[in-house]
Amino acid sequence: MKRVVFNQKGGVGKSTIACNLAAIGASRGRRSLVIDLDPQGNASHYLLGSAAARPEPSLADLFDQILNFKLRPRKTAEFAAATPFDNLWVLPSHPSLEELGPKLESRYKIYKLKEALVDLKEFDDVWIDTPPAFNFFTRSALIAADRCLIPFDCDSFARKAIYALMENVEEIRADHNRGLSVEGIVVNQFLSRSKLPRRVVAELLEEGLPVLPGHLSASVKIRESHEACQPLIHLMPGHKLTREYVELYEGLPA
């Protein structure tokens, strides 16, 4: 199963959600890979710690191989790095992705990520983290994925933008990837005692948008998790937010 975690808005928790769901699956014995398409490399740092500052090889090497055709290319799995956690790997980002994007787009390489992921027989689940933009990398991810999760941070501006986001996903599905489905909207950073988040989520439901049941609470613990470079299932398995992530994971179709 290949899932993309996508939202054009920054700061909604794409990297955190992708890494924590992947870590939960890995803790249950599923061989899981996180692909970090964001040049900022937050997912890579979260899972690799200081080693993410000098990834070798990285996703940039894979895309360089795509850009500069080779008769005997390296297999995609060879670019993945093992994390300190059992059954969990990451295909790490690199800052040079920023420069590679326009070059790849000008050479019409939009389908190449999908092709590169076909031979990933080593993994049960692939989680694709995306940059906060509708660019070459996010379009490539949507073309390559089976399902899409959309993080939502209970902001009224984000609510207005979600329709444009859904239209972009639907356009990719219609033009490039008929098998892509929106698995649902993940409500993140939810404050149950505040009126605005409750109202905004209720409006999404009234409008028929696919909001997933259960919400991820706002908590300082996620920052502690980032700082420790340990997903919640490893750092604090009994915490309320960890249980919410587990419930989210268990609610997703296998």
> For 121-134, how does the pLDDT look when each residue is reduced to its tens digit (9 = 90+)?
899 999 999 999 99
CA angle 88, 44, 20 (to 5 degrees): 50
Q: What is the number of other CB atoms lying within 10 angstroms of the CB of residue 50?
A: 8
pLDDT score, position 55: 78
Average pLDDT, the chain: 93
**Crossing angle, helix 97-106 and helix 136-144, to 10 degrees?**
70
The predicted model scores a pTM of 0.95
The residue behind tokens 């890579």 is: 44
DSSP reduced 3-state for 24: helix
Q: Does residue 13 surpass a pLDDT of 90?
A: yes
Q: Determine the structural domain holding residue 7 and report its residue range.
A: 2-251
173 or 161, higher pLDDT? 173
What pLDDT is attached to residue 11? 87
Across the chain, the runs of DSSP E, i.e. the strands, are 2-5, 32-36, 81-82, 88-91, 125-129, 147-152, 181-187
| pLDDT tens figures, 204-228 | 999 999 999 989 999 999 999 999 9
How sure is the predictor about 248, in pLDDT bands with cuts at 50, 70 and 90? very high
With 0-12 / 13-18 / 19 or more C-beta atoms within 10 angstroms meaning exposed / middle / buried, residue 205 is exposed
Q: Length of the chain in residues, anyone?
A: 254
Task: Name the more confident of 21 and 163.
Answer: 21
**For position 10, what pLDDT does the model report?**
87
Phi, psi of 209 (to 5 degrees): -80, 150
E strand or H helix at 60: helix 59-67
Q: What pLDDT score was predicted for residue 31?
A: 98
Residue (of 72, 37, 16) closest to 235 by Cα position: 16
* Confidence (pLDDT) at 157: 66
Looking up tokens 């803790």 gives: 27
Domain count for the chain: 1
* Predicted pLDDT of residue 156: 64
More confident residue, 212 or 195: 212
Cα–Cα distances in Å, from 79 out to 33, 84, 130?
11, 16, 18
Q: Which residue has the tokens 């899932």?
A: 3
Distance CA 200, CA 202 (A): 5
| pLDDT tens digits, 28-86 | 999 999 999 999 999 999 999 988 777 789 999 999 999 988 778 899 999 999 999 99
CA distance 49 to 70: 32
Three-state secondary structure call for residue 69: coil
Give the residue among 16, 17, 58 at the shortest CA–CA distance from 37. 58
Please give the structure tokens belonging to residue 248. Answer: 């989210």
Bridge pairing between strands 2-5 and 81-82 = unpaired
Tokens 């989520």 found at: 201
Mean pLDDT, range 141-153, rounded to an integer: 96
103 exposed, middle or buried (CB, 10 Å; 0-12, 13-18, 19+)? middle
Residues 79-111 have pLDDT tens digits of 999 999 999 999 999 999 999 999 999 999 999
pLDDT score for 191:
86
- Rounded CA-CA distance 207/217 in Å is 23
Find the angle CA(236)-CA(237)-CA(239) to the nearest 5 degrees: 70
Is the model's pLDDT at 179 over the cut of 80?
yes
- Confidence (pLDDT) at 195: 86
CATH of the domain at 98: 3.40.50.300
